Amino acid sequence: MILSTADIRWLIAAYTCGDVADEQMSALLMAIYFRGLDEPELQAWTAAMISSGERLDLSGLTAPTVDKHSTGGVGDKVSLILAPLVASCGAAVPQLSGRGLGHTGGTLDKLESIAGWRATLSNAEILALLAGTGCVICAAGEGLAPADRRLYALRDVTGTVESIPLIASSIMSKKIAEGTGALVLDVKVGSGAFMPDIAAARELACTMVDLGNAHGVRTSALLTRMDVPLGRAVGNAVEVEESVATLRGDGPADLVAVTLALAAEMLRLAGIDADPAAALADGRALRSYRAMIAAQGGDPDAPLPGARHTEVLMAESAGWLRGLDARGVGVAAWRLGAGRARKEDPVSAAAGIICLAKPGDRVEQGQPVLELRGDADDRFARAREALAGAIEIGPEPPEPTDPVLERIG
């Protein structure tokens, strides 16, 4: 049976207001999980989710609007650098972000390491920040795609999260409702990603690109590697610190490469002819970042929280570091307190892991490879368990790889 547009529109509206019970919607979600949605059904489903709430009106801004969404990874602090970088090139960047769950980090959790910084802003404040500083990173308002909030919670308890149509409509309904003119998707692939298989990641990327373009948002996607943590810092405050270092011109090569690739794609879709590498090098991006943090109540010069306890993991043999499993590192950081198992759990700003060596580096036996940081010393044993087998050392260096796998759209 094919669902008509009218059926879908009624169903989403009725579920959002409580006229359709969770038990009934659960049955449909399970059917979608197993049988999927065809293209007209998915378009209608996404449109109905958008229509369940308000849409942010960015038409009053003079600069072209463009956003980025990442499917999440380990050490993925790109948004902290990218939003001010692209804004410093002349775009307005409304980066509505989320919190971490499980082994993947959340942008809002990271920025809340900064004293005074506020994640919750009104629509009027968002518009004022975009007009004034050119960029904002904040939580999505309660009024944007409220149907998704109910559906996501239900998918979480019914085992229907990993459905490409449901993932795509969840992400894109919020991004389309935020009112941006263009959108670049960073779809992570590898052991630390939500989609470890490249074929599934490509299918998700293509589905989301088609949805965005069909709803009038110029959309493209980059598939990027997530077998190894991105950069050297994994956690909250430590990722803020690394982001600022990158904005100062001292960032890890893989993090800089992914950030510049996404920035170039965002500027292309926004129709802006600018060189993001130049904006990173000459300090414009850093100035934009500091202005954004200050405008949201944060102190960009405040010291970041430090951990009370540290431990170091050593290389067990000499050779070349060939692998550093992103999922293992992500789970270890989560167990140290940097992440949460449930949405209501607190996170530690100071907990995390520093990758003192990355694949391609030569290491000696006994050389420190990972530094574990945490506020509670009873968390370290379980963190070390997550890292069993995560460090691969061999007699030959690994083949060099490009962190960007392909572009879609």
Alpha-helical regions (H) of 137-236: 146-158, 164-177, 198-214
| From 148, 186, 227, 254, active-site residue | 148
Q: What are phi and psi of 368, to 5 degrees?
A: -65, 130
| From 52, 67, 68, 69, active-site residue | 69
> Which residues sit opposite 296 in a β-bridge?
none
Q: Quick check: is 309 catalytic?
A: no
Gap between the Cα atoms of 373 and 354, Å rounded: 8
Q: Quick check: is 148 catalytic?
A: yes
Task: State the first-to-last Cα distance of the chain, in angstroms, to the nearest integer.
Answer: 31
Q: Quick check: is 69 catalytic?
A: yes
DSSP state of 36: -
Query: Which CA distances in Å does 210 have to 41, 168, 206, 404?
Result: 13, 10, 6, 21
| From 174, 327, 340, 379, active-site residue | 174
Q: Are 373 and 238 in contact (CB under 8 A)?
A: yes
Gap between the Cα atoms of 95 and 82, Å rounded: 10
Copy the structure tokens of residue 182: 């263009």
Which of 86, 9, 393 has its CA nearest to residue 267? 86
> Cα 115–232–94 angle (5° rounding)?
50
Copy the structure tokens of residue 213: 């373009």
Give the count of alpha carbons within 13 A of 200, CB side only: 14
Q: Quick check: is 170 catalytic?
A: yes
Q: Taking the CA atoms of 397, 76, 88 and 112 in sequence, report the sign of the dihedral they define.
A: negative
Q: Quick check: is 103 catalytic?
A: no
Q: With both helix axes pointing from N to C terminus, report the angle between 39-51 and 198-214 in degrees, rounded to the nearest 10.
A: 60
At position 250, the amino acid (one-letter code) is: D
Gap between the Cα atoms of 76 and 387, Å rounded: 19
Gap between the Cα atoms of 234 and 205, Å rounded: 25
Question: Which H, E and C letters describe 268-318, residue by residue?
Answer: HHHCCCCCHHHHHHCCHHHHHHHHHHHHCCCCCCCCCCCCCEEEEEECCCC
Q: Taking the CA atoms of 96, 101, 102 and 106 in sequence, report the sign of the dihedral they define.
A: positive
* Residues involved in catalysis: 69, 148, 155, 170, 174
